[in-house]
Amino acid sequence: MFVCKNPEFYKKIAAIEANDCHTHIDAAHMVARGLHDVMLYHMVISDLYSAGCPNGSRLPEEPTAEEAERRIIEAIDYLPKIKNTSCYFALRIILKDLFDWDEPITHDNWRILDQRIKEYGARPNRAREIMKKANIVKSNTELWRGRDGEYDDIFTYSLEWAFFTRDQWGHFDTALLELEHAWNHDEPCPPLPVTLTPDLINFKKKIKTLEDVEVAICHMLDKTPFDKIVTIASHLSSNIHYMKVTKEQMVEALANRENAGPKERDIYANYIFERYLDIYEERGYQIPLAFSMGAEPLPYETGTKLPSESIYELAYVFAAHPKIHFNLSVASASTNQAMCTLCREIPNVSLNAYWWHNFFPTFIERVLAERLDMLAINKMIGFFSDAYCMEWAYAKQVFIRTITANVLWDRIECGRYDEETALEIAKELFYGSASNIYKKQN
């Protein structure tokens, strides 16, 4: 369905083991539980919503049978309108390769397909079967999703707990709320959702003073299970201006929390972030910090936004903490050159693969080609899926392997690489760089 320029070379690329270094796959349901898990992946929902489907919200991770059915039926009439998109093409790859289904989804047949997906999902070791077909040998997911550890042989873990530098739609004290969320738990838990409701932020311990900030940060680091994780993940919002903040500014902003606006938002985020990095570095932690960048809130999902000012403001932050490794996933192809320049000049920064609004073949090809020209191979990771089930990890690796093979083959044909060099580069892109950056610490 997705043909490489040189099929024999593609076979060699497909034979390379992959480390899927960022997913949200849950050990409790690693594979699709029905058609909803495949057809209503959030990126497909965005396509459907843009085509006129009335509901653009993500399907809950644990939908009721009635809700899943209602959303499927609601979406079916809009599937023909997104047949041109690469997300729809990925859906076709999943259905054909993993469920032997090559028909349009209609009101008359969707229940048959839904039942087939459920039956395949009930097979013993179905997740491992898909991983083998995709040649994915490691999958990194959020720590809490590991559940009882049954899949620790294939999972590594990332801690997503407090997002100090994430902007929230309609909230200006998000950095404080995120830190309070961690302070009020004695062990890591899922992060706050992007859309907050009052019942989620009724914390017993509230941050009122600089001492509270210090205590809460130390509490969070003390409770971080560094022996169980390979990275700590968060988001760097480009709505925030990154700058040095004084204690006096923070005290004044805390006193104005009830009337906080963009000014206070930036002060809270910068002060907490800088203190976190200072303490992290002072204690000598070696786990890399992974940040997403370039996607900012819209009512249901996000839009691409990464002004050049944000990159330069963050450059000062990264350079000020040379003992911390910052690994960045960027959703903006238009700033790829600037991000590559930053990585060339700041040794403790590297780039991850193709996140959200970059995950389309046109942009994957462009971003990869630019990075190959500008960066050392150990400064870039060439694959992660961001998937919530193994089926979507499979589809995304098909995309990335094919495009990677095409980009490398073009360079072989024009004499820039020989085939041996191209394959060495591919091994680093799919496995080596991720495994070296996200490695278990002793």
Domain annotation covers residue 26: no
Q: Are residues 138 and 263 in the same domain?
A: yes
Domain annotation covers residue 13: no
Domain annotation covers residue 11: no
Q: Are residues 90 and 161 in the same domain?
A: no
**CATH assignment of the domain containing 219:** 3.20.20.140
- Residues in contact with 115: Cβ distance below 8 Å, sequence separation at least 6, in sequence order: none
What is residue 441's predicted lDDT score, i.e. its pLDDT? 61
Domain annotation covers residue 141: yes
- Residues in contact with 287: Cβ distance below 8 Å, sequence separation at least 6, in sequence order: 226, 229, 230, 231, 232, 441
The count of structural domains within the chain is 2
Q: Are residues 303 and 325 in the same domain?
A: yes
Q: How many whole angstroms separate alpha carbon 183 and alpha carbon 219?
A: 6
Q: How many whole angstroms separate alpha carbon 35 and alpha carbon 143?
A: 26
Domain annotation covers residue 203: yes
Q: Are residues 380 and 295 in the same domain?
A: yes
Q: How far lies 357's CA from each of 132, 292, 333, in Å?
A: 28, 12, 8
Q: Are residues 257 and 317 in the same domain?
A: yes
Q: Are residues 358 and 414 in the same domain?
A: yes
Among candidate residues 96, 125, 154, the one where a domain is terminated: 125
- CB-CB contact of 230 with 140 (8 Å): yes
Domain annotation covers residue 222: yes
Q: In the structure encoding, which two tokens stand for residue 358, read together? A: 């970059």
Q: Are residues 247 and 389 in the same domain?
A: yes
Spans of the chain, pLDDT less than 50: 442
Q: Are residues 210 and 92 in the same domain?
A: no
- Residues in contact with 43: Cβ distance below 8 Å, sequence separation at least 6, in sequence order: 87, 356, 359
Of 306, 364, 388, 314, nearest to 37 by C-alpha is 388
**CATH assignment of the domain containing 84:** 1.10.2020
Q: Are residues 287 and 235 in the same domain?
A: yes
Q: Which residues pair with 213 in a beta bridge?
A: none
Helix (H) or strand (E) holding 16: none
Domain annotation covers residue 75: yes
What is residue 439's predicted lDDT score, i.e. its pLDDT? 85
What does the pLDDT look like over 60-82, one tens digit per residue? 999 999 999 999 999 999 999 99
Torsion of CA 220, 384, 332, 314, to 10 degrees: 30
| Pairing, β 302-304 against β 295-297 | antiparallel
Q: Are residues 143 and 94 in the same domain?
A: no
Q: Are residues 116 and 161 in the same domain?
A: no
What is residue 442's predicted lDDT score, i.e. its pLDDT? 46
Within a 13 Å sphere around the CA of 96, how many CA atoms are in the beta-carbon half? 13
Q: Are residues 362 and 249 in the same domain?
A: yes
Domain annotation covers residue 77: yes
Among candidate residues 107, 125, 143, the one where a domain is terminated: 125
Helix axes 308-319 and 336-345, enclosed angle (nearest 10)? 20
What does the pLDDT look like over 151-172, one tens digit per residue? 999 999 999 999 999 988 778 9
The CA-CA-CA angle for residues 155, 44, 121, to 5°, reads 45
What is residue 1's predicted lDDT score, i.e. its pLDDT? 57
Look up tokens 């965005």; give the residue: 46
Domain that holds residue 188: 133-437
Q: How far lies 41's CA from each of 21, 88, 304, 385, in Å?
A: 19, 11, 19, 12
Among candidate residues 125, 153, 186, the one where a domain is terminated: 125
Compute the radius of gyration of the chain from its Cα atoms: 22
